[in-house]
Amino acid sequence: MKVAIFGGTGYAGSYIIDSIISDGMIPRVMVREGSDDKVIQPNKCEIIYGNIEDENSINETLKGCDSAIYLIALIREFPSENITNERFQFEGSKRVMRLAEKNGIKRFILMSALGANPNPNGSKYMQAKYLSEQSIKNTNLDWTIIRPSSLFGNPRGNERPEFCMMLDKLMLSLLPYPKFLPFPAPSFFKGISPFDAGNYSLSMVHVKDVASIILNVLKDDKAIGETLEVGGKDEVSWNKIIKTIAEVTKRRVIMVPAPIFLISFIAGLLDRFKWFPAGKDQLDDLVNGSVCDSSELFKRYGIEPIIFNNENLNYLSD
C-alpha cells in the first residue's frame, strides 16, 4: 500500500512517515528540490520533486497510491514573500483534492487544526484550515479531518528545536538566556485585568500520538466522514507550559502580565519581520485557548497518550 504525503518534511510529517513505514506501507513524499535531506528514512520512501502549485508533480506523487495525506500549513505568514495560508493551506489542499479524485484515489486525510473557523476577524491560519475542511466535504473522497491541538515532541531531522508549533521562537529565546538570571516570560491577558493572566489552556498533544491516530484512521473505514479533534490527556495552562519548560531547561522564570491587545497591536506592526518572535494571528489564537476531550478517541485505537510533563520534555535540556 502506498500513501501520498504532502508536507512530509514538516514537524508532524516525519513522525507520520515513521508510523506508515513501521506498518509496512510505502510513503511517497513530495518535496522541493534540495529538501530531500529533510525526509525521514529516505531509503524507505519514494521521493517526488516538485511543489504544491505544480500539477505535474502532484499527479506524479498521487499516481499509483491508495490514499493521500495533506499536512502542509503555515503557522506564520509573510505576505510580502507570497507566503500565505490561502496559497499553501487552502488553495494547495484544494488542488491536491481535485487531482486525487482524477487519479482515482478515494481515501484522504486532511490535517486541520482545533479551532478552525470562518471568522473574518480571526486568524488567517484558522480561516484557511476551515476553508480546506469545507472543500473536502464537497468532494467524493473518503475523507477524514484531523483537528489537533498544540503539538509537542522531539523535533526530527534538520528541523529547528521547538516544543510546539506555535511557540517555538519563545523557547529558542529562552535557551541561550543566562541561567543565573530569571527569565521574564509574558503571561498574556485579555481586557484590562491582569489577575487571570496566562490561565487559558491548551490540550498539549504529543506529535507521536497524532501520527498514531492518523495511521489508525487511515485503516479505519468507520472514520470516513468524521472530523476528529485530537488533544492530550490534560489541559495545560500557558503559565504551566512556560514554567515546565523553565524547569526542564533549569532556568528561573518570572511570569510578567502582558495585555494581549497591546502585544497584538505591536505584533501586527512587526510580524512581517522574521526576527520578531510571533505573529499577530499566533498570539490571538493562543489566548483563545485550544482544548478538547479526546479520551474516547485514544480508547478507540488503544493508545495511551504521552503526557506533557518534565520527563517527556527532556529533549529540551539538550
Q: What is the pLDDT of residues 128-164, one digit of tens each?
A: 999 999 999 999 999 999 999 988 888 765 454 344 4
Per-residue pLDDT reduced to its tens digit, 69-83:
999 988 777 877 888
pLDDT of residue 94: 96
**Minimum mean pLDDT among 215-229, 236-250, 299-313: which range?**
236-250
Given a cut of 70, is residue 178 above it in pLDDT?
no
Indicate whether 170 pLDDT > 80: no
Q: pLDDT, tens digit, for every residue of 250-302?
A: 878 888 899 988 888 888 887 777 777 677 888 888 888 899 999 999 999 99
Residues 24-48 have a mean pLDDT of: 87
Q: Can you tell me the distance from the alpha carbon of 267 to that of 283, in angstroms, rounded to the nearest whole number?
A: 8
Give pLDDT, residue 254: 86
Instruction: Check pLDDT > 50 for residue 95.
Output: yes
Rg of the chain, C-alpha, whole Å: 19
- Per-domain residue ranges of the chain: 2-153+205-230, 168-202+234-290+306-317
List the beta strands (DSSP E) in the chain: 2-6, 26-31, 46-49, 67-70, 107-111, 142-148, 151-152, 183-189, 201-202, 205-206, 227-230, 236-237, 253-259
Rounded CA-CA distance 57/43 in Å is 20
- Point out which residues pair with 253 in neighbouring strands: 183
Contact 132, 110 (CB under 8 A): yes
H/E run at residue 99: helix 92-102
pLDDT score recorded for residue 218:
96
Q: Where are the alpha helices (DSSP H) in 103-237?
A: 124-137, 168-174, 207-218
Name the most confidently modeled range: 11-20, 189-198, 276-285: 11-20
pLDDT of residue 113: 93
> What is the pLDDT averaged over residues 190-196?
85
Region for residue 21 given its phi and psi (left: phi exceeds 0; alpha: psi -120 to 50; beta: otherwise): alpha
Domain covering 2-153+205-230 assigned CATH 3.40.50.720 in the classification: yes
The pLDDT mean for the chain works out to 87
Residues 6+ apart with CB under 8 A from 131: 90, 118
Give the position of cell 489537533.
148
**Residue 59 CB neighbour total at 10 angstroms:** 16
Q: What is the pLDDT of residue 121?
A: 79
- How far is Cα of residue 275 from the mean position of the Cα atoms in its chain? 21
